[in-house]
Amino acid sequence: MTIHAFIDALPKVELHVHLVGSASVPTVLELSRRHPGSRVPTTPEELRAFYVFRDFADFARVYQAVNALVREPEDVATLVTGLARDLAGQNGRYVEVTVTPYAHHVVGMPMRAVTEALDIAARRSLEEYGVRIGYIFDIPGEYGAEAARITLDHALREPPRALVAFGLAGIEQERVRHRDAFRDAFRAATAAGLHSVPHAGEMTGPETVWEVVDHLGAERIGHGISCLDDPRLVAHLRERQIPLDVCPTSNVCTGQVAHIKEHPLPRLLREGLFVTINSDDPPMFATTLTEEYRVAADVFGLDRPALATLARNAVTASYLDPGTRRELLAEIDALV
């Protein structure tokens, strides 16, 4: 079995993928043609050029443009089942999908309708593709206190059945102005039983990671790669074994890392940190979850045991029920 065949055969769990960012090129083109007048191109060639980002701010503008195409609850369900279909083709078994309720609120979708679409999509994903779905509701940080309030309200009043966690994403540099609102929202969400999985340390330094660890109760961190700039933080993350959802290709495409060969994944592993591999916004970055494992093998030289450890880490860091988690771990062990 070649290393690529081994990767194909690995049972996989994806912990860091955004719903809108998971939309396949055909789906985005269909939506852009359905809603003429948007900033999103209507041909494959133009869309590929649209998905070349100068920096994170440029990526955020493109993401918002695509997000504006999702205007009906059935669009939400289509995105979830499309993601499940794509993962099933990669031997994906479970995915925790980051959903941004505020984005659906501002285009006028009722809270209950969004939740019903998410519930229907989770059921269809399991029945049709064998992929289990968990949802993370995240606050788009640049929209501040209003976004925090609306996201929390949806999570507490009308949660989908598969809601497992509460997150914070968006432009990290904007967070300090709304810090108290985010802290209050996370206190309420975790008190209600949701897990804390904020983004941090993607486009800012270790101070953002410390903020989510100390004040948002982070149980898992999206990206977190700038932790390496602070030895004390590295030691803290290693001691607590707080998982980092690492997305190598994403970091290159958004300009956080200059070249894939310069990505800190190998150093994160050498430091003994708890790392999982993820795709973030796969069609936008011309990648897949499988491709991220191939990057780990081809670029960084990870062998089969190391790749299997990354796959196990994703299962262990997930919020799957214990029985399914044990079954997946046993499958990985059997393959190795």
Note the pLDDT tens digit of each residue in 84-96.
999 999 999 999 9
Residue 336 lies in a domain: no
Catalytic residue (one of 96, 202, 291, 292)? 202
What is the domain count for the chain? Answer: 1
Q: pLDDT tens across 167-221, in order?
A: 999 989 989 999 999 999 999 999 999 999 999 999 999 999 999 999 999 999 9
Domain of residue 84: give its range. 3-329
Report pTM. 0.94
| Sheet containing 195-196, strands listed edge to edge, beginning at the edge strand earlier in sequence | 12-18, 92-99, 132-140, 163-169, 195-196
Residue 334 lies in a domain: no
Q: Which long-range contacts (CB under 8 A, 24 or more apart) does 232-236 make?
A: 233/206, 233/209, 234/271, 234/273
Contact present, 281 and 246 (Cβ < 8 Å):
no
Active site residue 262: no
Residue 273 lies in a domain: yes
Instruction: Return the CATH number at 293.
Output: 3.20.20.140
Residue 169 lies in a domain: yes
Residue 107 lies in a domain: yes
- Per-residue model confidence (pLDDT) at position 241: 98
Residue 335 lies in a domain: no
pLDDT above 80 (res 110) = yes
- Of 1-15, 39-53, 87-101, 176-190, minimum mean pLDDT range: 39-53
Residue 123 lies in a domain: yes
Residue 158 lies in a domain: yes
